[in-house]
Amino acid sequence: MSKLKKMPEFKTEAEEREFWESHDSTEYVDWQRAQSASFPKLKPSTKTISLRLPETLLDRIKIEANKRDMPYQSLIKVWLSEDVEEKRRAR
């Protein structure tokens, strides 16, 4: 295998994210030697966002959430997550 490039040092997570969006990790990491890791107690970080929805749509979402006995924000997260995963599998 060719020599790997030296991993850059990043000042912030945003800087690192920007770097990996435009670079191939195989130039920096020997994935043949990688090992699987599990972090069962690690909770994903969340970020509060503001989302403008038509009132009629929000009312329909609340009705669906009520049928499932769950908060409407949780239902929105479930639907978004399912849709993103479905789109990734379809690629």
Contact 51, 80 (CB under 8 A): no
For residue 17, which amino acid is it?
A: R
pLDDT tens, position by position, for the chain (91 residues)? Answer: 468 999 999 999 999 999 999 999 999 999 999 999 988 899 888 899 999 999 999 999 999 999 999 999 999 999 999 999 998 888 8
Question: What is the domain partition of the chain in residue ranges?
Answer: 13-34+47-90
What pTM, to 2 d.p., does this model score?
Answer: 0.54
Here the tokens at position 10 are 């990043």
Contact 72, 62 (CB under 8 A): yes
Would you call 53 exposed, middle or buried from its count of C-beta atoms within 10 A (0-12, 13-18, 19+)? exposed
Rounded CA-CA distance 81/87 in Å is: 10
